Amino acid sequence: MKSKTKGILKLSAVILVIAFLVFSAVRGFGSDKKLSASAVKQGLDLAGGVSITYQTVKDDPTAEEMSDVQYKLQLRADIYSTESAVYLEGTNRVTVEIPGVSDAEAILEELGNPGALYFIYGNDNIRLVGENKYELTKSIAEIEAAGDVVLTGSDVANAQAAKERTSSTSPIENVVELVFNQEGSEKFAKATAAYVGRQIAIIYDNEVICAPRVNQAITAGQAIITGQRTFEEADILASTIRIGSLPIELEEMRSNVVGAQLGAEALKTSLYAAGIGFIILLLFMCIYYRVPGVAASLALTIYAGLMVMFLNLFNVTLTLQGVAGIILSVGMAVDANVIIFQRIREEIAKGMTVRSSVKNGFHKALSAIIDGNVTTLIAAAVLYMIGSGGIKGFATTLAIGIVLSMFTALTVTRFILYALYDAGFDKEGMFGIQKPRKTIDFMKFAPKAVIISGVLILAGVVAMIVHSVTGGKTLNYGLDFSGGTSYSVTFPEQYSEPLNVELEKLVNDSIGKNGEIVKVTGENTYIIRTMELTQDERATLTNKLSENYGVDDSMITIENISGRVSSEMRADAIKAVIIATVCMLIYIWIRFKNFNFASSAVLALIHDVLVVLTVYAVARISVGNNFIACMLTIVGYSINATIVIFDRIRENMAEKLKKDSLSDIVNRSITETLSRSINTSLTTFIMVLALVIFGVDSIREFAVPLMAGIVIGAYSSVCLTGGIWYFMESRVLKHTDDEKDDKK
């Protein structure tokens, strides 16, 4: 078969794959549209879900008790979706919002009313009524009076389902792993030592949920419950124990189905903006990189189709933070192609044939692509394992995106590029030739860059101090962090179109604050959440609702609400980012065999985060869950951009000539990767800019600082990281030379 015919057949196969993926993404399969974009589970901000409000049985719970309730309910709700939200209302209520579901009764039945949890001696307190089913023979009050309560929920630190072998010869079992706090460990050790061979029953909400037998004294503060037939059964038991370990008992107050927090209009315009940005991105690639750009565009289209498919397969709940992960992974997918194409042009400029240049281009780009993607993948894994809530969603979409981006760049793009070459697109002019570049002296500019960065960071510090001293907050903390005021408004008539955007504008115009608008499905009720309002602001907003919509005061319920991001969740986020940064540092150190590369990359990363923090402080952009997503995206983007330059420095160090100084190598490496730095930043910037131009206010709050992060990331990778590494490496070399002189 002739080469041209083979190329045409390969391209035909690519077109068929793209057609299949487009059909899958748009139409899906079956009546429930499996694998389609519409079948992807969406979070509360994009599609709404179930909202359940609990009230404490106890009249006056402490703030510490309510904070603990919020955190533990968040862990329970995460079973349904990592994008679930839990926040406090007033002093004795807590609301759980679970996205992607529409049956409040089913969720209530599964979630249950968080009741009291007890571990009791089995003896005559329980009786067998069926296969592995028990019931109480006495009331809890009677059992307590008899001194047969071993532990209560407050003694349990955690419970998790797991699969493990209980002995070297036994099969893998579905178990529940219990962890007790210090007081609980002491109680349980004493009880199990005296009760070997007998049962200790676990009671939840006055029902026996299991009655495991004690095989031996348990003194380490951890226990395993065996006998669960399936992992799902073990997971339910673990969840019940976790929710039963709440410090206070709760009872259901109300439940309903709510619409999207961002509103249907926000989702529609955001998708429209993303589509425009993606098309502009593909056009840029085709125009600038010619035939390779066409190959990349086809590969990126396949990437987008596969992303939709994998979001379905992994049952990912997509939120704005998840979208941030996708934006970062798209940027990295484009970056991988840009690195390859720049390498191909360099090889052609050396006089290599087009086919050899393509082969060498992929080979030479491999290390930078792998190191950049694996480093970010490590961060995603750590964020998923340690983070909570939206951080897990970000980590999930980022991890899927990174794996797909490496696959499409290194496999699909290569396949398409060779197919185009075989089909007759094989002239040098179709691929482009890298023109000779005059090496720019970036090291000469490095001190000035450090001063500029210092001034920017200092401006952020000054802005935060000024805001704090003048009675404000250092940063403009939004609802997710600081809580605020919730209006539940029942309108006198049903409106045919959702009022989300209209009400958002009314709130902003009347009291100068952004509002989060949620419609209660099937009712004329809207929930308006905004930053904490003064009495005058409440009166103003109430009057506006009355004037514009005829809403009676009696149809408005006002509550103070807490932030969705609890102190424990913030601690989880900080811990996850720190551990992820350390893991990335270790990986870079191992791969580059030079600690200065690793430390320079981390310093650049910290610099980018601090400068973007300045943008938040000076522009007073709202700091909420979007802030976390933005910062995580910038961390991933920054580390990837830095590694590309370091990879070129490593390569040029290996090919170092006698006349080359260290500064020459750094300058040449940055110059050689400059086109990549500009083009990758520009393409990602274009996608985010489309969200700013066509998106709604809530989307812009996320997109504007992200644009700043992209610019800062490009600036730091080009102007700072090489200089930082050069400074550190020069000191190491000078120290080594001094040691040699001392020996002489």
The answer to whether the beta carbons of residues 11 and 423 sit under 8 Å apart is yes
Q: Is residue 332 part of a domain?
A: yes
Ranges 202-206, 290-294, 428-432, 736-740: which has the least confidence = 736-740
> How many structural domains compose the chain?
5
Q: What is the DSSP string of 174-197?
A: EEEEEEE-HHHHHHHHHHHHH-TT
DSSP structural state of residue 124 = G
Kind plus residue range of the DSSP H or E element containing 28: none
Ranges 106-115, 158-167, 211-220: which has the least confidence = 106-115
User: Do 331 and 212 fall into the same domain?
Assistant: no
Cα separation values, 391 from 77, 531, 576, 658, Å:
15, 23, 9, 49
- What is the rounded CA–CA span in Å between residue 340 and residue 360? 9
The answer to whether the beta carbons of residues 55 and 99 sit under 8 Å apart is no
The pLDDT, as a whole number, for residue 741 is: 46
- Taking alpha carbons only, the member of 673, 652, 677 closest to residue 729 is 652
DSSP structural state of residue 475 = S
Q: 705: domain CATH number?
A: 1.20.1640.10
Q: 220: domain CATH number?
A: 3.30.1360.200
201 Rama class: left (phi>0) / alpha (psi -120 to 50) / beta? beta
- What is the rounded CA–CA span in Å between residue 406 and residue 375? 13
Q: Flag whether pLDDT at 469 surpasses 90.
A: no
User: Do 267 and 339 fall into the same domain?
Assistant: yes
Q: Is residue 250 part of a domain?
A: no
User: Do 615 and 737 fall into the same domain?
Assistant: yes
The 10s digit of each residue's pLDDT in 477-513 is: 877 777 788 888 888 887 766 777 788 888 888 888 8
Confidence at 744, pLDDT banded by 50, 70, 90: very low
- What is the rounded CA–CA span in Å between residue 247 and residue 303? 47
Ranges 29-33, 43-47, 236-240, 693-697: which has the least confidence = 43-47
- What is the rounded CA–CA span in Å between residue 435 and residue 431? 13
Cα separation values, 1 from 263, 414, 423, Å:
56, 21, 12
| Structural domain boundaries enclosing 227 | 117-245
User: Do 76 and 157 fall into the same domain?
Assistant: no
pTM equals 0.70
Cα separation values, 325 from 184, 332, 381, 678, Å:
40, 11, 13, 21
Q: Is residue 539 part of a domain?
A: yes
The pLDDT, as a whole number, for residue 44 is: 66
User: Do 590 and 735 fall into the same domain?
Assistant: yes
Mean pLDDT of 258-265: 57
Q: 502: domain CATH number?
A: 3.30.70.3400
- What is the rounded CA–CA span in Å between residue 421 and residue 344? 13
User: Do 651 and 624 fall into the same domain?
Assistant: yes
User: Do 103 and 121 fall into the same domain?
Assistant: no
